[in-house]
Structure 1
Amino acid sequence: MFNTVIGIVFITVLSALLSHFMEKYTKENINQYVTSLNAQISNSIDRYVDDMQKVLMILSEDANLPVIADKKFVGTYEGYSAYNHFYDNIRSLIFFKGYKSLSVILFDRQEILTTDLNDGQDFKYIRNALSMNMYREITDSDQSMVLLPGFSLLPGKDNNTLFSQAIKLWDNLPGEKDFMVLSADKNLFSDFLNGVNNQAFDDILITTADGKVIFSLNSDVSTYDEFSGKDIGRLAEFDTLHFNGSSYYANVKNSATTGWYVVSLINQNKIDKQINDSKIIIMLTGIIVMVILILAVHLFVTRSTRDLKRLSKTMKNIEKSNYKIRSDINRNDEIGDLSQSFNAMVKNVLENQVLRNEAEIKSLQDQINPHFLYNTLDAISSLAIKRDHVRINEMVEKLADFYRYNMNIASHNVVEIGTEIQHVKNYLEIIQVRYGNRLSVIYEIDEGVSEYLTIRFTLQPVVENAIKHAFNEMSGAYFIRISAYETEDSIVLEVSDNGIGIEEPKLRQIMQSIDGGGSLPHAEPRGGVGLKNVNMRFKLLFGGNYGIAIESVKGNGTKVVITSRKMK
């Protein structure tokens, strides 16, 4: 009940806020869209004007133009050829670029070269314009490149010119006031803007800075005569304009190259209707979302409370040392993560406890091998018969150190690598008394590695396994190499021999067993169990990326690689 009341109050407050801000946000969204389109149109005009300027500059430097303008070439083949080549150039440009026309005005000679005239009356009209000096806007300008909004060579007759651009030829031709005019096709812009508009605007205008409308997408420019004299640049975003008995929202974008303005007009009634429709839709959506949210929160809280109680009960059972119990909560949220972490923690605690006990007991049992002790005592007895007191003393000390290390169960599970290697040295020096010169041991220990920590009883089971199995059925000399070095993020211990090696199927079976994926081969001695034990201890303590790997080729010896995490 309380949740329902809170939900109703929240919906009421939210409705009021949406009603207050909806109009503002809707206008901002529409204005952003309009601004983006206006920027696209304005940039297109800028690029078009820039392109026209480049074309004019290229044509003004055409090598044929001075020949055409020079009177001495009039009536000559050279003048005729230059005239034809120049006309071919401008016609190809107009066709390729989509311009309306291009004209070269030889003002001082009262002559014109143009693509825009159709009959003698047109020539007569322009010659009269030349004599009346109607092109003073160009000839009197201080600029070499002149932009002319709405300018046409045939004003009143040609209504398809949007604007023209003129370049003075005073430095290129002998005449003092000759110029070239390139005109933009209004129809080309109409096609482009119709594609951009997609019926979003009621009209799109292009105006000069003083409010003169030179282009209208959907109306005659005379419709906007009341714009004349207005400072279009002072219009605010989404400003309201009133003309022809209607109100419009206007968005204005300035063209950096021309100084003109692109004005997009949207009928105010259309926007207001869209705002009201948006309010209704969002209000209904808000109510539906809030109802769903209230129900979802209620269900979530109920379920979460129930699952947390179950998890709490499971934890209390763990407190009673009931490690077999597990949480059965399966969710894709924080409570599910907590349940999985709890199960993993219980599993790790149980495995660590069991494996630690088994490792210490098995290690102690394996190391205190009666046969090893008997063989060592036999060797000491042989030395006693020979009265080799020094060797007897060394053997007894090594044997005492060896068993002292084995019997020290209360020590930490990790020791320095140097200590572990010394333990293996004691073991091998005792073994070498039995084997004599047949067994050679090589130590390759990098500087600084001895200070890192590793798990106790890491190397001795591996070395014992090599002696028991690697040299089986060998009659010649054999060696064991013990290496220790560090990589970027690991410590690597290697024990390699020149023994009989292991066949591929058996090696694969041994590795599967060591990794916990199967049983040891039939009649495999305890050495395999020792390797499996060492591998499991490494993975439990350091992670799955660490442990034992075995490399072997039948007849070419075996290498056991132990990878340990760097730890001091």
Structure 2
Amino acid sequence: MKKFRSIRGRLFLIFLFSMLGLLLIVSFVYYQRATEQIRSKMSVVAEKNISQTAGLFDVMLKGYDSVTKSLNSNNELMRLLRSSSAGLSVANVDLDRKITDTIGAIFYSRNDIVGIHIVTNEGRVFSFDRSVGATVRDHSEQEWYTRLKRSTGEMIWLGVYPRSLMSGGIERPVFAFGRQLYELSALKSIGIVLIETDVDAIVSALTNASLGPGSDVIIQASDGSEMIRTNPAGSAEERIPAGWPGPLKTGEVQITDKKDVMITASGIRTADWTVIGITPKGELQLELRQTQRFLLSVIIVLVLAATVLATFVSRSFSSPFKRLIQQMKQVELGNFKGQVHVQSYQELNVLVGSFNRMVRQMDELIERIKLATLSEKNAQLQALQSQVNPHFLFNTLDMIYWMLDERENDRLGKVILALSQIFRYGSEWEQASRAPLRRELEQLRHYLTIIQTRLGGRVHTEFDVEERWLGIEVPKMFLQPIVENAVKYGLEPVDRPGQLRISTRERDGKLEIVVADNGVGMEEETLRHLERSLEAIRSMKAGDEEEPELEPGRKGIGLQNVHLRLRLLFGEGYGVRIESRLNEGTTVIVTIPIPPERG
């Protein structure tokens, strides 16, 4: 109901109800005048239709009867059937072909025949049907075959079946009938003939007795069972009085009226069947139904026209307001790029113009604030990045001095080369503060070359990084402070070979880079102290002018620098997490976002 409180909704209802009220008054007057012209009696038409249908069926069944008689009266065919025998000799094959050719000639004499099948007393079957043409095959007894064998030469009308009784390839309803075949000279039974015809011919004849789409026409056998009906979904059998219509003479038609239907019946002499037509009383009022359909069509067209016209009028007035409201909602969500473009009433154009100018001014102000904030963050990043290199540089230069003193020129060459690569990588800060993870790991390997040289190979490093993550951009030199802390505070103090492992894993839609060592680990108090320092950075807001004080201690400054850089670059939810146990080792987990194209 909320939408009908709007300008558009109220205009729509007022205009629509006004037109519909006038339409209903005119339609009611017209309908009352039309009902005075309804015909009250249609029994004559129904009687004529049912009688014609019964006569049509007599003609159809007599035609089918003549087909079977033409087979039985074909002396040559009877002789061939009597002479046929099983076997693959040339004579037998030629005899079988002559029999199927004769059957095929009768098959093609009518368009409605689906299949002709002759079953000899020796059990051989000669068929000609629409599925495979002429065939000679074996036969297994069924109920219909027993009925034909028990007959004494009269026509047996088997009825309608959902599929062919003999042809496996014909999966549609058929009308089946047949009789025994006799050799006329000796009056000796040769076999039986089964003929299947298309059931559409029967359905087409039944529709002749229908007086409307709701009518139902049924053929009943002499025992009262239903053979076929035009409306399979109907319940006409519940409307027919029990025992009605009883025996009917040739051409006799019976009519009975019930409360809501009229029932007519006529006998089919050839098959001792009864055609029953059930027509609802509503179907008999043809002129009224035509008037109702016409009036209903006119009302529907006028209602649609009134609805379209009311919609057009209300929309033309309310559409500018709707677009303005939609753009205001976008501004509430933070989208200041959109503009409203309408050409409507003068007052509304002034309102839209003022709104567009306000949005543009807000967008310009937000852009200035973003630029100022970004400049401040870049300055913070550069300050943090500059803290990474000096300590490492001093240690390396001190080591080079002692190596020169010991004249270890080969080892010195590797160290100087690695240091050169580190300085080259570190000199690119002005070009970009990020690099692919692949370059960051290469830089880390150069660093580890120097570390392993300095420690005499006591630290073994293992990389387990999936190939698909190597192209992801990460902050420059964010791993080196972590590895430096792991070596200095975790692995150097132990008197055994140390193990350092760098690996990656995906968890909850984020990428985790894990640096684990098997060094001395941390005491629980030291770990809590370090976690508190990282938590201080997590709670810092984006607009804070002062940075949190970095607490000194084991792995403090390097990890806090990395954590602060990750938060400035990627926002909350990313950074550094630490796990450690005393005398077992320390694990530092760096969490960064996965780009959408790699997710």
The answer, yes or no, to whether TM exceeds 0.5 is no
Structure with a larger share of its residues in helix: 1
With normalisation by structure 1, the TM-score equals: 0.44
